[in-house]
Amino acid sequence: MPIFEYHCKDCNKINEIIIFGDNDTPVCDFCNSRNLEKLVSAHASASGPVKNSMPGLGDTACCGSSPGQASNCAGPGSCCGRKMD
């Protein structure tokens, strides 16, 4: 069951929604709107040998920047709710 990120065009919130099947229609968790835009989500990546639970310096899973260096980044593996073109 994949989790997808959607931007609600009505309330401007970002939603993480589990999609169970091809016929599922995502609904905004905040305002119940169906006016959603699917976002491209970056997955968490690992760089180098595993030394601890935090990502390495070469990790670029946060909007193409290292975690902590991207503005408004929600954390490793997130894509800040930004739409990637």
Cα separation of 25 and 20, whole Å? 10
Cα separation of 39 and 8, whole Å? 10
- The parent domain of residue 34 ranges over 3-38
Residue 83: pLDDT band by 50, 70, 90 thresholds?
A: very low
The whole model's pTM is what?
0.49
Domain membership of residue 29 (yes or no) is yes
Is residue 17 within a helix (H) or strand (E), and if so which, with residue range?
Answer: strand 14-18
pLDDT digits (tens, 9 = 90+) for 3-59: 889 999 999 999 999 988 888 899 999 999 999 999 987 665 555 555 555 555 555
Domain membership of residue 43 (yes or no) is no
Number of structural domains the chain divides into: 1
Cα 35 → chain centroid: 18
Q: Is 14 left (phi over 0), alpha (psi -120 to 50) or beta?
A: beta
Report the sign of the C-alpha dihedral through residues 57, 63, 69, 72, in that order: negative
